[in-house]
Amino acid sequence: MGLESLLLKLEDNEWPPAKTIAHCHRFSENSAQYGTLKHQLAPQIKHYLLEKHIRLYSHQCDAINAVAEGRNIIITTPTASGKTLCFNVPVFDELAKDPESTALYIYPTKALASDQLKTVEQMENDSGILVHPHRVDGDIPFSARDAIYVESRLVLTNPDMLHRMLEHHGLWERFFSKLRFIVIDEAHTYRGIFGTNVAYLMRRFKRICKYYHSQPTFILSSATISNAVELGETLIDGPLTLIDKDGSPHGEKYFALMKNDPKRSTNQQTIELLAECVKYGCQTICFGGSRKLVGLISKGTVNLLSKEGHPDLMNKVEEYRAGYSPEERARKEKLLKNGDLLGVVSTNALELGIDVGSLDCAILSGYPGSMMSTWQQAGRAGRKNTKSLVFLIAYNNPLEMYYVERPAYFFTRPIEKAVIDLQNTEVRRNHLYCAAYERPINPREDSKYFGSDLESFITDHCSTWLFQNADGIWYYRAKIHEKVSIRGIFEETFSAVASKHFKDPETLTKSQAFREVHEGAIFFHNNEKYLVTKLDLNTRVASLQKVDAPYYTVALATITVDILSEDSMGFGEFELKFGSLAVSTQYDGYMVIRDGGGVNDRHPLNLPLNTIDTKGIWLTITSEIVNEFRKNGGTY
């Protein structure tokens, strides 16, 4: 048993999963390439590396050397290549040499910051360099922050919290005035509206650093993307040196593209494959495209293992997604890292670099939607010299079938670009209001942060009595930060509670609550099913009751799009339009589906309309083209 035995099964047509493998691609192993440092490290760092038997790879040396020369860098080597040392070594080196210097680590999620805090604490303990590391986010009570303001030299946070830190930057004067490094991990996640917000947040942050007479070096770490330098330089508004020549060793990786089995659903294929991997003793991560799907696959795998006579393996499979309490999240991560779990079914919450140890296999239940996510998820399997195996089980849709039938195209397809739009008027305006509250804006001085057209932009787009001009200096006269969401659309949070069965409530956004915990819904938690007996819209609490039901539920929604304003341009035979939209979602019913498949029943729902205002791009198609499309057998 084990991975070697499982690899042999790939060519065995008697093994059910092998029958749907369309193509298996082999990635050869790579040996380690080591580098040389060009400057002297602090004695404590030298001792740390020797004690840990760490020999730095070539890309790690390239990163450390570039930082020592005062350059901002972005590291884009693959998953599990040791990117963390690329920033921990130069940061701890500087903090050892200058006992007053500080560093800020920014992560896209609280879970990732919490995970990396353990790494930093361990390095502090092993090196003897006192940095008093702390995590600062919404889970940290205000009563615990006084000590952080006074003593911490290394703070780990997220963009949402940095946004609020700038609101009260006076509390951080000691920390910001001695700031030597800003580390931005998982930089590829800062794209779209989230990335645009973070780009303006970084400009505000640099402005505050200048006020406190600090000029920190930026160290960015990213998944491999087509435009890493362009993205990074847009984020930080400054030049970056690219570190992309990977020197770390990698074992053989096998990547199997699997066809959809017409006799079984993709969900059932996934359940059966995950159960097989677990039975072979292979530690496996399985990615599902939604919270509901993750619950279905995890519960289905546990049931199948029980049915096939493996009750000892039932507690070796768990689900992982957003919404858990910090304690529950930490428990699951520890079980996985220690090897106590053989199977974990996750949303893209584990796509980022949370340390989950060495995994043998990764299963992608459906194409994740981008090549960037595909390689991030596939990269969770395999470490250093060990072999690994990845399965992508295609859904029965044109795009996924296209990839399965053209493996050469799939495996050579370039990774997408990450795009940030600094011309977004609403985002820019909101951050100008925040910046003016933090410190009054002088267009002549602050145009280097907010654009050469700053003065005209303020005149044309910032017409509110709260934003006032006094002798050419702009002030914002009210608190604004809590009204500005860094992640785009702000949603209320709901709680799912089953007090007799799990201690801490799960948290959901409003749209998730309407979709997953409406009255009558089946909610999955730790491989158990819970019936939602009540959803209180006033207290925003869903009450759950544990059940042993042979079915699950799927919410039904009607989505309407209202065009509020639009601009248009010719685009061949089409018309391309961009404008403001109101997108309304009405959850008006739900289906009851048997575990084995098939709809049992449909029930109505009476939930309020959920409307968001957003921007959109669309094509208008002439009736002639539609008629031609239909004439050739097309439907839409």
Whether 489 shows a pLDDT value over 80: the answer reads: no
- The pLDDT value recorded for residue 220 is 98
What is d(CA 106, CA 184) in angstroms, rounded to the nearest whole number? Answer: 5
How many CB atoms lie under 10 A from the CB of residue 531? Answer: 17
Distance CA 426, CA 197 (A): 10
pLDDT-derived band of residue 198, with 50, 70 and 90 as boundaries?
Answer: very high
Read off the pLDDT of each residue in 329-338 and give the average, rounded to a whole number: 88
Greatest Cα pair distance in the chain: 82
The pLDDT value recorded for residue 429 is 95
Indicate the angle between helix axes 83-97 and 110-127, nearest 10 degrees.
Answer: 50
Find the mean pLDDT for residues 403-425. Answer: 94
Tens digit of each residue's pLDDT (9 = 90 or more) over 285-319:
999 999 999 999 999 999 999 999 999 999 999 99
**Could you give the strand order of the β-sheet that contains 317-320, starting from the edge strand earlier in sequence?**
21-27, 253-258, 388-393, 361-365, 284-287, 343-346, 317-320
Q: What digits encode the pLDDT tens for the residues 117-170?
A: 999 999 999 999 999 999 999 888 888 899 999 999 999 999 999 999 999 999
pLDDT tens digits for 69-125? Answer: 999 999 999 888 999 999 999 999 999 999 999 999 999 998 899 999 999 999 999
608 versus 353: the higher-pLDDT residue is 608
Which run of H or E residues covers position 304? Answer: helix 291-307
Alpha-carbon distance values, 182 to 151, 233, 238, 276, 532 (Å): 18, 14, 13, 44, 44
In single-letter form, the type of residue at position 333 comes to E
CA 377 to chain CA centroid, Å, is: 11
Strands 528-536 and 599-604: unpaired
pLDDT of residue 612: 84
In tens, the pLDDT along 36-74 reads 999 999 999 999 999 999 999 999 999 999 999 999 999
- CA dist., res. 355 & res. 321, Å (int): 15
CA-nearest of 523, 510, 491 to 590 is: 523
Judge contact between 513 and 499, C-beta under 8 A: no
Whether the pLDDT of residue 259 is over 90: the answer is: yes
Distance CA 634, CA 636 (A): 7
- 123 phi/psi in degrees, rounded to 5: -70, -40
Average pLDDT over residues 218-234: 95
Helix, strand, coil fractions of the chain, as percent rounded to 5? 40, 25, 35
Mean pLDDT, the chain, integer = 93
Angle made by CA atoms 410, 412, 413, in degrees to the nearest 5 = 65
Q: Return the pLDDT at 520.
A: 96
Query: In whole angstroms, what is the distance from residue 219 CA to residue 91 CA?
Result: 10
Q: 605 Cβ partners below 8 Å, 6+ apart?
A: 518, 519, 520, 555, 556, 587, 588, 589, 590
Structural contact between residues 284 and 274, judged by C-beta atoms closer than 8 angstroms: yes
Q: Regarding predicted confidence, which is higher, 499 or 167?
A: 167
567 φ, ψ (degrees, to nearest 5): -120, 150
Give CA–CA dist 521/544, Å, rounded. 9
Identify the pLDDT of residue 302. Answer: 96
At 344-386, the pLDDT tens digits run 999 998 888 787 777 999 999 999 999 999 999 999 998 767 8
Q: Taking the alpha carbons of 210, 216, 217, 218 in that order, is the dihedral positive or negative? A: negative
How far is it, in rounded angstroms, from Cα 150 to Cα 15? 62
pLDDT of 634 strictly over 80: no
Identify the band that residue 636 occupies on the pLDDT scale cut at 50, 70 and 90.
low
| pLDDT bucket at 490, cuts 50 / 70 / 90 | low
Q: Which two tokens stand for residue 408?
A: 């050469």
| Cβ(317)–Cβ(301) below 8 Å | yes
